[in-house]
Amino acid sequence: MKTDLISTRERLNNGLGSATQEIENCIAIAQSPACEHAFVRTLFDSARRTAAKPQPQGLALAGLSVSVKDLFDIAGQTTTAGSVVLADAPPATHDSVAVARLRAAGASLLGRSQMVEFAFSGVGVNPHYGTPAAWDGLNERRVGSDGAAHLPGGSSSGAAVSVASGAAFIGLGSDTGGSIRIPAALNGIVGFKSTARLVPTTGAVPLSSTLDTVCALTRSVRDAVLAHEILAARRVTRSPAPLSAYRFAVPQTSLLDGLDGAVASAFERTLMRLSQAGARIETVELKALGELGAMQSKGGFSAIESYAWHRLLLERHAERYDPRVRSRIGNGAAMLACDYLELQRARAAWMLRVEQDLQGFDAALSPCVPITARRLDSVAPGPERDAEFFRINGLLLRNTSVVNMLDGCAISIPCHQRGAWPVGLMLWHGALRDDSVLNSALLAAQLLSQE
């Protein structure tokens, strides 16, 4: 994997290289075939100006490259959220909170990254502006050996490819059902979804006001800690405890069903490595996970809350939406107020049961997604491929969406060996257990990097 942000910052602080040189390197990658369709708008000149400014001592990002998902307001620019529907919307008057915090930390904004239209899919396909091909950050090559492009995962597709390819050190994105962790897993990088309430969503186009989380993709776990501290304006409490002090749960219900061979092999090998290093690993049933399907049968929070936001736009511009996105948003039209209130009640009770089952554990361990990246042409736009698209979308979201419904936190870290398909290990827990998840992920990533 390419050098991470912290190592690069330390090198610059020691007088080895400059932020302007780093930006030019990142721009060269962003203009290369590796990043085709990864950006909807580049900001190279602005990034150069920021990198050339004298950086105050100790500034966290030191003029280094950051990409911004096209979901977030940048002052003076139109936020299209991956759609042509908002192409003529007025420019934003202010930066979103997340962008403002990254700027204040010294970020050079390289560009607005590609995304699924209105963030409503875990696959990564965008029929309006093109879809970037997955790039394996661990192996530093395009995913797949058959010469075909493979799906990057969504909805933060461009953010993931920008980080995995080396164009950006941080990819600002969002996670409503897995949109940070899915592309992290499929691109062999790190994606951390914090507890949603820790980072303001102000200045971001909403998908679900209940589930939306502002977070980031990075090249390492320690970079993920840094990015979270910037976005959440808080310090992560570090633990000196060794891996042998950690107790992990491995849920058996549904999260291990139907794994691809490459995913099952990587996950089993990872559990063995952690156990050999002294980690205490126990299987748990988590029977409550079986209730998720019923709760989400009518589309869940994303459908009803997105429909409320899009209703008037759909009346005027329905034909301009990606049909797959339009159909998912449309599911919310049939949900009654009493259905919505019952969903809130059922979720609260469900969260309590899952959190009780996870008491005493530092984190749960699961494959981030049950499959490896499929070929892009298998889910390309077209009604003849809709059934396969929705099948793949359901598989990609299956494990990650558990954490969003739990109001929890989770991180995906690469657990595949060099030369193998990208596979993500997901470490997760309930709300406000972010520091425990991050500390355990730091140790797990350090162990796995020794392979």
Catalytic residues: 69, 155, 179
Torsion of CA 260, 264, 267, 270, to 10 degrees: -130
Helix (H), strand (E) at residue 181: helix 181-186
Q: Give me the sign of the Cα torsion angle 289, 273, 170, 131.
A: negative
Angle (deg, nearest 10), helices 323-330 and 386-405:
50
DSSP symbols for 146-176? SS--B---SSSHHHHHHHHHTS-SEEEEE-S
Q: Give me the sign of the Cα torsion angle 229, 114, 180, 293.
A: positive
Of residues 98, 130, 285, the one with CA closest to residue 205: 98
Of residues 182, 218, 212, 192, the one with CA closest to residue 200: 212
Of residues 98, 48, 51, the one with CA closest to residue 75: 98
CA 40 to chain centre: 18
Kind of pairing between the strands at 247-251 and 363-367: parallel
Helix (H), strand (E) at residue 186: helix 181-186
Angle (deg, nearest 10), helices 5-13 and 221-232:
80
DSSP symbols for 303-341? HHHHHHHHHHHHHHHGGGS-HHHHHHHHGGGG--HHHHH
Of residues 81, 58, 72, 74, the one with CA closest to residue 322: 81
Helix (H, G, I), strand (E, B) or coil at 412: strand
Residues 6 or more apart in contact with residue 200 via CB below 8 angstroms: 97, 98, 214
Return the ∠ at Cα 437 (arms to 367 and 59), rounded to 5°: 120
Torsion of CA 105, 206, 79, 66, to 10 degrees: 30
